Amino acid sequence: MDAGFFRAWIAEIAAVVETQRDHLTQLDAAIGDADHGINLARGFDAVEAALAQAATPTPGSVLVLTGSTLISKVGGASGPLYGTAFRQAGKTLGDVSEVDLGALAGALEAALSGVQRLGAAREGEKTMVDALAPAASALSKAVAEGASPGDALAALADAADAGAQATISMHALKGRASYLGPRSVGHEDPGAASTALILRALRDVALRQPG
- The whole-number average pLDDT for the span 157-164 is 97
Please name each of the domains of the chain with its CATH number: 3-207 (1.25.40.340)
Lowest mean pLDDT among 9-18, 33-42, 88-97, 190-199: 33-42
> What is the per-residue pLDDT for 104?
97
- The whole-number average pLDDT for the span 194-198 is 97
Query: pTM to 2 decimals?
Result: 0.93
> What is the per-residue pLDDT for 185?
78
For the chain, the three-class secondary structure string (H helix, E strand, C coil) is: CEHHHHHHHHHHHHHHHHHCHHHHHHHHHHHCCCCHHHHHHHHHHHHHHHHHHCCCCCHHHHHHHHHHHHHHHCCCCHHHHHHHHHHHHHHHHCCCCECCHHHHHHHHHHHHHHHHHHHCCCCCCCCCHHHHHHHHHHHHHHHHCCCCHHHHHHHHHHHHHHHHHHHHHCCCCCCHHHHHHHHHCCCCCHHHHHHHHHHHHHHHHHHCCCC
Stronger pLDDT, 152 or 74, i.e. the higher one: 152
Check pLDDT > 90 for residue 42: yes
> What is the per-residue pLDDT for 28?
78
